Amino acid sequence: MTTKILVIDDDINICDLLRMYLEKEGYEVRTANDGVEAMTVFRMYEPDLVLLDIMLPKKDGWQICREIREQSSKPVIMISAKGETIDKVLGLELGADDYIVKPLDMKEVFARIKAVLRRYAKHDTADGELIKFDNLEISLRKYELKIRGKAFDLPPRELELLYFLASNYNRVFTRDQLLDKVWGFDYLGDSRTVDVHIKRLREKLEGASDTWSLKTIWGVGYKFEVTTEN
């Protein structure tokens, strides 16, 4: 099946350029040039991946990313001329999977698309082992997190990160180790990505149990700490 990509950018020339290169690589492409059109096309087209510009008319890329995350866990790569760290972190906190700074290098765009799609394909071949702790269930086959029996729809990498740490509870991992194990050795981002995902997970897991927690080991990394065995 052909991978479908939605390109959202108010610059028609950039949309046409990306469409030409992506279709040459074998992808199916649709485009949208403002925030309202973007969500209409997203719902109808059901893309496998979204390339999303930040500076859009009617609704900006931040709002579009929020709306996509409210209804889908499909990968989102933000593209913008704004390369400041705070913008990258904000994009990740809103649920984006990666961030590319303009002007675009097509080799970099292809590499990041392929890396993100590979990571999202992991759950299709997961062994389905169910991990259980007090008030917590994590299943890769169902791609589901349950807290106190209530199901939560997590972006794939959030769930994969939690699954990996919980599978290796009480073991400390550095940010680089987590990038390698969860994102893959070919990931082109930086270690702040791990911090952002841990922050989002903590917000969801807060108060779920006093027998386990996501712990920061200052100067080293993170671990899923279990104080009472199941």
pLDDT at 136: 94
CATH of domain 127-226: 1.10.10.10
What is the widest separation between alpha-carbon atoms in the chain? Answer: 58
pLDDT at 187: 62
3-state secondary structure of 105: coil
pLDDT, block means (10 residues), the chain with 230 residues: 92 94 94 95 94 93 90 87 72 82 90 83 57 90 86 85 92 90 69 88 92 92 83
pLDDT at 116: 84
Q: Count the neighbouring beta carbons within 10 Å of the beta carbon of residue 49.
A: 22
Distance, CA of 200 to CA of 187 (rounded, Å): 20
pLDDT at 229: 58
Distance, CA of 79 to CA of 29 (rounded, Å): 16
Question: What is the pTM (predicted TM-score) of this model?
Answer: 0.63
**Best CA proximity match to 155, nearest among 90, 93, 88, 109:** 93
3-state secondary structure of 73: coil
DSSP 134: T
The domain limits of the chain are: 4-123, 127-226
pLDDT at 125: 47
pLDDT at 146: 92
pLDDT at 128: 53
* Residue 195 φ/ψ, nearest 5 degrees: -60, -45
CATH of domain 4-123: 3.40.50.2300
